[in-house]
Structure 1
């Protein structure tokens, strides 16, 4: 009996497999996000996306603009693509309606703009990786993976830690490597709609996570605007420092044409200006005793 997963395997490139994995894990990407992250040519990217679409590996939709016209194509995993990814990872096959449910989820969701914003952050890093030989996006995990038991445990960690289920709900987790510096980080993507108190309230969950696993990594707050970042940092200045963290403002970075890998980050509690993502490696520690000792 002909197996469509086996039949399509020989037609896939390594780049195709990366893209399918991203769509499976992170839901939806626009044509421009895919092109920036993985291709040197927009035209070549569009041709390859059409080919994968014709193979029924990916699906697409095009939201309408409120003022007329439409947005670029938004790409999703299709059922065959989901089965290819699951087979490559030696996982159980996805449900038969996996692609249909994903398509319904993202074509009707009110959180689409938030998800695209999160994915823009990581595809910007991937694009920097592609065009700069010294930078590398080593890992990109979605929110759901961050909440699974044992995600952040090391192989030799005690059973208790490997079974620990994080209570934090970051928008993503990544590992960036550049010039021999390795920076694991959590991302909190701010749309500007939440009250700042909600963002500050998330710090408690991170402190508990870091205390439990015996390691701490920077939490990056990627804020809607420079004004909002200033207000957020003012609120933080009145609180005790409980976790390593840094803030950045999207409008400030965009005005300077700087992706999140570059010097757009201000370390909380530090007035020394902006630093690059790689230099935030100073915030990653293996034994955060100051966190563990706090009640």
Structure 2
């Protein structure tokens, strides 16, 4: 019997496999996210996406703007693409309605803008790495994986950590390398809708995790405006920090055409100097 997964695998490049893996794990990416992260040009990207779409590896939709017109295509994993990813990971095949449920989820959810913002953060890092040979996005995990027991257990950790259930709900976890600096980090993507006190209380969960692990790394608050960043930092100034924290503001980065990899971060408790993501390696601790 002809196996569609085997038939299509020979047509895939390493870049295709990366894209399928991202869509499987992170839900939805726009044409521009994909082009910036993985391709030398938008035209090249669009041609390849059309091919993957015709192969039924990816699906797409285009939301309508309230004031007329439409947004760029938003890409999702299709059923065959999900089966290819599962096979490559030696995992059980996804449910037969996996792709249909994913399409329904992302075309109807009110959290689409938030997810796109989170994913843009990571694809911006990948895009920076694509044009800077010394940099690399080494790992990108979604919120759901961060909450699984044992996700952050080190091979040398006691077995009890495999059963530890983190209380954190980060928007993502990444490992960034820039030259010799390697920075694991958690991302908290702020839309401005939560009270600042809620953002501060989230740090307690990270402290608990870091105590359990015997290691710590930066928690990044990617705030929607520099004004909100100033207000948060003012609130934090008189508080003991339960976890290493750095803040950045999206409007500040956009005004300077800066990537999240660049000098957009301020370490809490360390003045107003902005530093690069790679420089945040100073906030990591392995417990030794």
TM-score range (shorter-chain normalised) is over 0.9
1:207 CA drift (Å): 0.5
Look up the match of 1:278: 278
Aligned equivalents of 2:265, 2:209: Cα separation in 1: 23
- Gap regions ≥5 residues in structure 1: 289-295
1:272 CA drift (Å): 4.9
Q: TM-score, normalised by structure 2?
A: 0.99
Deviation digits for residues 128-147 of structure 1 (CA, Å, limit 9, x no counterpart): 00001111100000000101
Question: Counterpart of 1:202 in 2: which secondary structure?
Answer: helix
1:162 CA drift (Å): 2.1
Count of residue pairs the alignment pairs up: 288
Look up the match of 1:80: 80
1:238 CA drift (Å): 2.0
Runs of 4+ in 1 over 4 A off after TM superposition: none
Look up the match of 1:268: 268
- Gap regions ≥5 residues in structure 2: none
1:226 CA drift (Å): 0.3
Select between 149-158 and 275-284 the one with higher mean Cα deviation. Answer: 149-158
1:68 CA drift (Å): 0.3
Aligned equivalents of 1:128, 1:241: Cα separation in 2: 30
Aligned equivalents of 2:195, 2:65: Cα separation in 1: 27
Look up the match of 1:148: 148
Look up the match of 1:292: none
Look up the match of 1:157: 157
Look up the match of 1:116: 116
Deviation digits for residues 210-269 of structure 1 (CA, Å, limit 9, x no counterpart): 000110000000001000000010111121121111000000010001000000000000
1:286 CA drift (Å): 1.2
Deviation digits for residues 36-75 of structure 1 (CA, Å, limit 9, x no counterpart): 0000010010000000000000000000001100000000
Deviation digits for residues 2-60 of structure 1 (CA, Å, limit 9, x no counterpart): 00000000000000000000000000000000000000010010000000000000000
Question: Counterpart of 2:260 in 1: which secondary structure?
Answer: coil
Whether 1:39 aligns to 2:67 is: no
Please provide the CA RMSD for this pair: 0.8
